[in-house]
Structures are given as C-alpha cells and as structure tokens.
C-alpha cells in the first residue's frame, strides 16, 4: 500500500517548490547584506520549521484532516477577529506579535483552513449529487461562509490576501458543477460592483491605484516603489548585474526588497533568464495542482487541489504583475520566494496536501 502511495505521488510539486525556495534564499542572502543577513537566517529557520508540517500534511489522510476543518475554521475566525484589536504594523492589523521578534499572521493559516473547510462544506452541500450546488440556498450558504473570513481580512486591511482567498474559493466553486448562468451573473455583478467598491476605497488604496494608472504623476511619492522596481528589472537585462552587485538592491532604493519586491531583486542581479525560469516553475506548479485536482479520488480532494492552485495562481500573477508595473501594488508575497515565516509554513502545508491528494488518486472526477 505504501509503495503504491509513493508511486502515485506527484513529487514534481515538491521539487518545484524547493527550487523556488532556493532561488528566494539566494535573493534574500543578497538583499539582507545591510542587516547582517537577519531575514535570510530567519527564513532558513522557518524552512526547517516547515518540514514537519509538510510531512504531516503529506502522510495524514486528507479526508481525516478535513473532518477537523469546521473546528479549525471557527478558531481561525476567532484569530481574524482578535488580530483587528492588535497594534497596526505598517498600517495594517494583520499580525500577532509574540515576544520581541516573532510575528504570526492568522490570514496565512486561514488560507489553508478555509480551503479545507469550504471543500468540506461543498461536499456536504452535494450529498445528492454534484449539481446540488446550483440550488440558490446552497449557493447562499457557500458564499456566506466564504465571505466571513474575506471581510475580516479586508477589515485589517489586506486586500491582496482577500483577493487570493476569492480566487481560490471561486476556483473550487467552478469545478463543483456550478451552472454557467451563475458564472455569467457573477461577471456582471463584479462589473457593477467595481465602480462602487472603487468609490469607497480608503485613501491609501486609491493612491496605489492612481499610481498604477498614472505612474509618471508622482515618481518620488506613491509611484516610487514601482518605479524603482521596474528600473531594477530593466538594469538586470539578460543575465543580471551579478549577485550582490545590483544598484537598486544594494543601495537601498528598492523597498521592501525582501517581501513585495523580491522578484525585482532577482531580475536585477540574476537577469531575465532567472525571472523567466521562475515564471515557468510557477506554471508547472499550478498546472500540476490542476492535474492533481482532475485525478483526485473524490470531490474533496479535487476541491482542495483547485483551491490551492487558485491561490498560487493569484499570488504569482499579482506579485510579478505589480513588480513589473502591470498591476497595482497590493503587498502580496511571492510564494516560497518572498521572506515571511507564516507564508512559508502554510505554502509548504499546501504542497503537502497536494502530495497527499496525488498519492491517493485513482481517476478523474471532472474534465474540462
């Protein structure tokens, strides 16, 4: 039985994630020279901490894990409410500070827990068949439990993470057998909601959107980070300026270079070849996650894999897009590459779940 599980396991997702982590660690090593490698050393420690979580997420049957998802969901909602009363860091109440140097971001934990719970919920709502989700009251229940954590994360405010949740959970709903008419309705609703949401955004969010639409308007102010990021990537050309030799990175013009703009560090010092390689690695990771969803042995496995694929897709597109000036800055990390302990642990838990689902797969349950 164990040999069958090992044979079925899609090890490529683990290999890709480790390669991405190594690339990120190299970039962090360069970017933290002025801080005596503080964040680089912390990231290595977080990687070591991630290993047991990765193993547990891989070997414990995901159906057993999902049984505890409702309780974990309640705990996460409590944590998301509690964090709103903490002291803001960089204008957002998103972290619990434990001790002098340790911070914990509950939205990262919620990223995994909510996907597991919504997979559990979708499965319960479809007891009589996959088309059951098309009943209005069942859709209402799904969206209600989906919106609670999203609204709490928006309240922090953390719009980037909220959008990642929405992308992942909608991907799960898409493969659940939802009628196309609801998809069309959703697009219309979004189109109507965009101007309403825009007019009610806080000042700092409007400033970011305005700097994206008119980057030349305030290069020394709101557009400064994006301008420096594009300058760094352009300076790297094909093969980069060399590790520890990037002007924007080493002279402190690029900020925050270890989290939001780590992709720019890679572009400047390692060049176009390295950045294209990173994009290819993410494409492999996401397509493999979708393939795992298609070949999962049951609906729950399919939903979890698609939720993870959707979240990784959003993070990749948004982080790289904002770094090169194609999307507004939202402050989301680049999975496995950006500095961040909570993010790294939960991303490797997601990889463990993908390995878990793939090892127990049998045949495709949805196609197209």
Q: What are phi and psi of 96, to 5 degrees?
A: -90, 130
Tokens in use for 137? 């009251």
Global pTM reads: 0.91
pLDDT at 276 over 90: yes
Q: Where are the domains of the chain?
A: 2-359
Q: For residue 368, name the pLDDT band (cuts at 50, 70, 90).
A: very low
Q: Which of 107, 125, 106, 109 is nearest to 172 (CA)?
A: 125
Q: For residue 362, name the pLDDT band (cuts at 50, 70, 90).
A: low
Interval 305-317: pLDDT, tens: 999 999 999 999 9
Q: Which of 126, 111, 116 is nearest to 160 (CA)?
A: 111
Interval 223-252: pLDDT, tens: 788 888 999 999 989 999 999 998 898 988
Q: What residue spans of the chain are helical by DSSP H?
A: 2-8, 12-31, 38-59, 62-67, 69-82, 106-125, 136-155, 159-174, 180-199, 203-213, 224-236, 247-250, 262-294, 299-323, 341-359
pLDDT at 344 over 90: yes
């Amino acid at each position: 039985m164990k040999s069958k599980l090992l044979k079925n396991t899609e090890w490529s997702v683990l290999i890709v994630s480790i390669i991405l982590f190594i690339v990120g660690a190299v970039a962090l090593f360069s970017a933290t020279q002025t801080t005596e490698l503080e964040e680089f050393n912390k990231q290595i420690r977080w990687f070591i901490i991630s290993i047991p979580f990765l193993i547990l997420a891989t070997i414990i049957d995901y159906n057993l894990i999902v049984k505890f998802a409702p309780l974990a969901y309640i705990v996460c909602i409590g944590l998301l409410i509690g964090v709103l009363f903490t002291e803001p860091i960089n204008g957002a109440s998103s972290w619990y500070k434990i001790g002098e140097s340790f911070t914990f971001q509950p939205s990262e934990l919620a990223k995994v827990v909510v996907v597991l719970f919504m997979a559990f919920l979708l499965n319960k709502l479809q007891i009589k068949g996959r088309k059951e989700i098309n009943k209005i009251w069942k859709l209402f229940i799904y969206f209600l439990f989906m919106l609670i954590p999203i609204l709490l994360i928006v309240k922090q405010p953390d719009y980037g993470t909220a959008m990642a949740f929405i992308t992942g959970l909608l991907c799960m709903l898409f493969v659940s057998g939802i009628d196309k008419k609801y998809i069309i309705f959703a697009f219309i609703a979004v189109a109507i909601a965009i101007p309403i949401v825009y007019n009610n955004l806080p000042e700092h969010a409007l400033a970011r959107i305005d700097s994206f639409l008119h980057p030349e308007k305030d290069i020394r102010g709101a557009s400064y980070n994006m301008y420096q990021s594009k300058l760094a990537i352009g300076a790297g050309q094909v093969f980069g300026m060399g590790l520890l030799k990037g002007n924007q990175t080493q002279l402190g013009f690029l900020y925050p270079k270890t989290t939001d703009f780590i992709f720019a560090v890679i572009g400047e010092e390692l060049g176009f070849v390295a950045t294209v390689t990173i994009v290819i690695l993410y494409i492999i990771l996401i397509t493999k996650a979708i393939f795992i969803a298609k070949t999962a042995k049951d609906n729950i496995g399919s939903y979890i894999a698609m939720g993870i694929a959707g979240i990784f897709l959003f993070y990749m597109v948004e982080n790289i897009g904002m770094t090169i000036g194609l999307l507004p800055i939202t402050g989301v990390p680049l999975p496995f590459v950006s500095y961040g302990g909570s993010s790294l642990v939960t991303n490797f838990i997601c990889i463990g779940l993908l390995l878990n689902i793939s090892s127990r797969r049998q045949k495709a349950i949805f196609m197209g």
